[in-house]
Structure 1
Amino acid sequence: MTSADLHTATGAYVLHALPQTERAGFERHLAACEACAQEVREFSATAERLGLAVAESPPPEMKDRVLHLIDSVRQEPPQVAARGGTRRWNRSLRHFALAACVAAAAVFGGVAVWQHQAAEDARSRARQAEAQAAELNAVFTAPDAKVTKGSLQDGATGTVVVSRDRDRAAFLASGLPGLPEDKVYQLWFDDGGTMRSAGVMGGAGGTGAQSALLEGRVGKASGMGITVEPAGGSEQPTSAPIGLLKFSV
C-alpha cells in the first residue's frame, strides 16, 4: 500500500477487509497516525451500534393502568361470627383472591402483549441493522471497491466507497456538526452535474462517525455530494453542498 492508500484504509480495517499483509502494514501506520487512529475508533463504535438492538422501556401509561385496576378491586371486610365464622372468612378470602387474580390477569395480560410487541419491534430493528451492516460490508469488501476520502465543511471528513460490480456505494463521515431537529443531511449522486437523491442521514452530528449505504444504484454517477435539507429530504438540493467527492476511477 502507498502512503496515500494507508490514510484511506480505516473503513476496510475496521471491517476486517484488509488482506493480512496490508493489515500488518496499516497497523504500523496506525501507531504513528493519530488522525487515522481516531477514525478507526469512531468507525468501530459505529459498526458496533449497527449490530445492537435498541432496549425498550415500559410505556408511561403502564403505571396509571396498574393503579387504576388495583383501585377497582373491592376488598370485602372479614366476617367473623360464633358459628360458621371460619367458613365465611375463607369465603371472603376466596372472593378477594379471585378479584385480585382478575385484576392481575388484566394488567399482566396487557404487559405480556406490550412486551411481545416491543420484542417484535426490537427484533425488526435488529434485522434491519444487520441487513444494513451486511450491505455495507459487501461494499467495503468488494474486490473492485474504490475509496475516496475528502474534507467537508467545519473540519469534518468524508469517505465514499464504490463498488461498480455491485453497483452500490457507501458513505462514512466523521465530525459532522449537529443540526436542528427540522434539518437532515442528504446524500446525492452526481450524474454529470445532475444531482440524484441517495437518501438522508440523521443530523445528530458530533465527533462520532456516521455511515450510510447510498440509496439507489451508482449507475454512471461520477461522484457524490452532501447538503443540509429540511427533515424528510428534498427532491433537489436546496442549499450549497457542504462537500463533494469524486469517485475513484
Structure 2
Amino acid sequence: MIDIHALSGAYAVDALDDDERSEFERHLAECPACQAEVASLREAATLLAETTPVTPSAVLRDRVLADIATVRPLPPVVEQQHQPAIGTVTTLTSHRESRRRRRVVPFLAAAAAVIAIGTGGVVYQAVTDEPPTSSTEQVLEAGDAQRFTVDLDGGGTATVVRSRELNQAVIETHDMPDAPAGHAFVLWLGHDGVMTQAGVMPQGADQEVLMSGDAATATSAAVSLEDADTNPTSPSDDVVASFDLST
C-alpha cells in the first residue's frame, strides 16, 4: 500500500485520478506537513510557468552534456506483460502508483530542464557538485606555477607562487607574525628595479593572498612593514621578505 504522504507531489501537479484525489484531499485536511509541501510545490510550479526560455551558451551546453555523460542512468521501468505468478496479489493501488509515476516523471524532467536552462550559471555547480575554482586556487594549481620561498625573522616562511601563463601571483605565509599595532605588511612586485604596490597582507599567521599587477614579467617581489595610515608608493627600509623572480 502506498504511503499517502507520497501523493503530495502528484496532487500538486494534478496527476492523480479522481479516486486518488478524493482520498488524498481527505488526508490533506488533517495533515499540516502535506499542506505545507503542496503549497511549496505549487509555488515552484507557478515560478516554472513564468520562466522565460533562455538559450544556453554553447560553452554551457557542451559542459553540461559532457558532465551528463559521466552520470550512470537509472534502468528503464519495464512493465510486466505476463500474468502475476500464483500467490502474487496485484492491487489496484499498485496500478495507480505506476500510472502516477508515468505522469509525474515527465513533468519533473521538464521542470529540471527549465531550471537548468533558466539558471545556466548554476548548472555546472549542480552537476559537478564542486564549487567554482577561485583565482588564488588557479594560480596555486597552475601547471607552470613557480615557487619562491624565504624564511622570515622570528620563524615562519613566505612563498610567492607565480604563473606566467595566468599573469598572476599569490603569496602564501606560514607562521608569519602579525604586524605591530598601527602597521601593516604591504606587498610589492618589481619590474626592472621599480617596485609597484601589489596589495596588503591581512593579519594572521597563515594566509594566501592574490597579488595585483603584472606578475608574468615581474623580476622581484617583496613584503615591507608600513604605517597603516599611509599609502606608500615604494617600500620602506623595513623589508621583511624579498624574492628574486628573475629565474
Report TM bin, short chain.
0.3 to 0.5
Could you tell me the TM-score, scaled by structure 1's length? 0.43
The structure showing larger relative contact order (alpha-carbon pairs under 8 Å, at least 6 residues apart) is: 1
TM-score by length of 2: 0.43
More helix by share: 1
Q: Which has the larger radius of gyration?
A: 2
